[in-house]
Structure 1
């Protein structure tokens, strides 16, 4: 087929939209747009990307969505949701071992499994019961985990990561002595964090990297404590 006789990428997108059912017309049009980035008439830059190379874009788009939710308009949120959705479709499209159907299937299965209060044999709208059932479902999934830190995404922003690991560490227990605060209200804590960030900036230190390193050291303490606890438990079992 000559170059001139090949369907133009835009024609392919328009055809997909024209033949799609009304309920999902725009979603299917977006999928056709993503698909058109690949192939002879597609985008060379797009085809060179990997999951790793796209990480900065995913981080940026996620941050912009959060910003829109916190201080933007409904239109801003709508736009940023679209950018995040494109990142999901982009990753699914370039993957070698799975596709969007696999992603959707796994997520649907997970939601069905983790929400027995909606999809189980005895639905309930009681909040306490919902939380109990959710924890039970999560416990089944975590049965093969060997550490409270398994499943923690260490690539998340440093402050969020620190709070996550601190919460997990408390169950071991491994503790960190908290700083003394003049007040525990949100404004005072925000001001204290901002003042600390200013001091770190003045010192020429990367605050994100410093906190991430400290959190990883805490994680090492947690894993070491877990090993000691496991060894002690095994020793007691042997004695009995």
Structure 2
């Protein structure tokens, strides 16, 4: 491609859009990029969003710059496919989000006072979104909760919607009792389909418990994953010091090392453990 904009390091957003058009060019573009569709790109979009979150969690600010670029490129990719189909283009995408922000922030861009708490702003935001859903004929309480969200996150959003109209347990203890009940039903399930159903019910109630405790279940599970990786790494290091690999060990030995890892973490200053 001989477009000078593509080679301009200061070309900014127009440069990125030009690169995307070149990649999708049916004759001279990249065969892989040309073959992609909304559906095939969607999993990469989700993956890039998680990589942004991961960089933030690790406070890897140099990496964050690149990850945000990767996520932006996903928006550009989808917009280019839409443009080719005559649906909309990137300018339409930018206009849509700009218009939405203006509409949802009348206390900043309109005549409303901005002397309100963050909690009141959340309530106002939800009221605006409810009105937007009504315009889209999404009149049900649960309408508009994206099906592509991570399942635990979507469970919490569905439960929050239901709670706003009074469909919720009044006390956390009642949710815990329901967790115990669902665990028992899972124990009693016999065939695989029933087990899968009961397991889903258990996860759904656990998500509700997280909501009552004001815990982000995705964040909590990520922390648990990180803890498992850290402690299993301790097991591997301990076995390596004995000239072993995990496959050369047994559960008793690895469990002893696991407990040693827990003890070491609890003994470390400023370390939060279970």
Residue 114 of structure 1 contacts residue 137 of structure 1 at CA under 8 Å; is this kept in 2? yes
Work out the CA distance in 1 between the residues paired with 2:100 and 2:141.
Answer: 20
Alignment of 1:75-224 (within 5 A): 75-95=62-82, 96=85, 97-127=87-117, 130-144=121-135, 145-175=138-168, 178-179=175-176, 211=200
Equivalent residue, structure 2, for 1:31: 17
Q: Find the residue that maps to 1:121 and give its secondary structure.
A: coil
Work out the CA distance in 1 between the residues paired with 2:201 and 2:30.
Answer: 36
Q: List gaps (5 residues or longer) in structure 1.
A: 1-8, 182-203, 216-240
Q: Give the Å deviation of 1:92.
A: 0.4
Aligned residues: 179
Work out the CA distance in 2 between the residues paired with 1:70 and 1:138.
Answer: 29
Residue 17 of structure 1 contacts residue 26 of structure 1 at CA under 8 Å; is this kept in 2? no
- Say whether 1:50 aligns with 2:40: no
- TM-score computed with the length of structure 2 as normaliser: 0.56
Equivalent residue, structure 2, for 1:231: none
- Report the RMSD for the aligned CA atoms in angstroms: 3.3
- Report Cα offsets for 1:157-208 as digits up to 9, x if no partner: 1111111111122234444752359xxxxxxxxxxxxxxxxxxxxxx9999x
The structure, 1 or 2, with the larger RCO (C-alpha pairs under 8 Å, 6+ apart) is 1
